[in-house]
Amino acid sequence: MCAQAASLDTSRYPHRHLLGISGLTAEEITFLLDISDSYVDINRRDRKKLDLLEGRTVINLFFESSTRTRTSFELAAKRLGADVINMSVSTSSIKKGETLIDTAMTLNAMHPDVLVVRHSDSGAVSLLSEKVNCAVINGGDGSHEHPTQALLDALTIRRRLGKIAGLTVAICGDILHSRVARSNIHLLTALGARVRLIAPPTLMPGKIERLGVEAFTDMREGLKGVDIVMMLRLQTERMQGSYVPSIREYFRFFGLDREKMSVANPDALVMHPGPMNRGVEIDSELADDISRSLIRDQVEMGVAVRMACLDLLTRSLRGAFEAEGADAGGEVGG
């Protein structure tokens, strides 16, 4: 077993699942980031495979399409030695609630250790977690939360700038429909960053200041002196009706380009969770500028963060089963 195995104190993350960042303490978030950090180095080695999850089964259950998140979880689980099944479930012909619970019960009967779930409805992953015996990781639920995205964003920032506390981070674009924004607001404020949200009034949620952020409807105002600019995709799949006059207008006022970046801190860095719409929310050349853009680092950090989450949650499961077995004075499950 590797050195990490001996040193992980699972009592520092006393949760069975990872459903969101909201509700986690700064210490729990930092613990997850510290474990993730050690996986970055492992992923840069020639031989990346570990046996920590040997004999474990991870199911990626995606009710909504995904390329990077699903691939990232799959790679993370395989690098830890788990058996991985990918399931893409269409919700078109059956009532969504029924599909979700039925599928959860069916999969539960096959004894997976971890379910990674993405669903278009906010709250669906949490509901599912109540019906199964395994650990559940939220791979994105509607416009609610995408916890591993916020963790990978934080790891990317922390590795580049050495800290999160005291930084000013602007999150820009379609805040209203973005689970990435919500998870990042919770995480960044918990770790002591100042968060600004910048969006057209139609894409800014009401009373958002309650989450401890500042809201702006003008990019040049909101970007003044920021250290990090996180751009968001226009989530057209969640829009009913028209929220922006035209793509051209949107890019003119809310698309990130060098001219708008000029009011930010001179060393300010650019992030984007992907998939990116070049020329809609971000200028293509800026997105590819490796001196300003952290977008590739974010993808790399994603695998490390997901390895850390899978590692930690399966250890916690083992701990719980061992305790159950010990209490019963009999066999140990798991």
Residue 173 C-beta: closest distance to ligand ASP, Å: 9
Which C-beta is closer to ligand ASP: that of 153 or that of 311? 153
119 interacts with ligand ASP by CB under 6 A: no
Residue 219 binding ligand ASP, by CB under 6 A:
no
- Distance, CA of 238 to CA of 24 (rounded, Å): 27
The residue among 144 and 260 lying less far from ligand ASP, judged by its C-beta, is: 144
Give the nearest residue (CB) to ligand ASP.
Answer: 233
Among the listed residues 91, 19, 89, the one whose alpha carbon sits nearest the alpha carbon of residue 59: 89
Beta-sheet pairing, 228-231 with 168-172: parallel
* One residue of 112, 200, 273, 302 binding ligand ASP per CB under 6 A: 273
> Please, which residue, 175 or 180, has the CB nearer to ligand ASP?
180
Comparing CB distances to ligand ASP, the nearer of 146 and 260 is 146
Q: For 145, which DSSP code? A: B
Distance (Å, rounded) from C-alpha 45 to C-alpha 184?
29
Among residues 84, 131, 85, 130, the alpha carbon closest in space to that of 105 is found at 131
Q: How far is the CB of 245 from ligand ASP (least distance, A)?
A: 21
Site string for ligand ASP, 274-293 (x = CB under 6 A): x-------------------
- Is 179 an interacting residue with respect to ligand ASP (CB under 6 A)? yes
Question: Looking at the chain, which runs of residues are DSSP E strands?
Answer: 57-62, 83-88, 114-119, 135-141, 168-172, 194-198, 214-216, 228-231, 269-271
**Across the strands, what pairs with 61?**
87, 117
- Position 146 contacts ligand ASP (CB under 6 A): yes
Q: Is 177 in the site for ligand ASP (CB under 6 A)?
A: no
Q: Which is nearer to ligand ASP, 274 or 325 (CB)?
A: 274
Least Å distance between CB 208 and ligand ASP? 18
The answer to whether 314 touches 53, Cβ cutoff 8 Å, is yes
- What number of chain residues touch ligand ASP (CB under 6 A)? 8
Helices (runs of H) and strands (runs of E) counted in the chain: 12, 9
Q: Interface with ligand ASP by CB under 6 A: which residues?
A: 140, 146, 179-180, 233, 235, 273-274
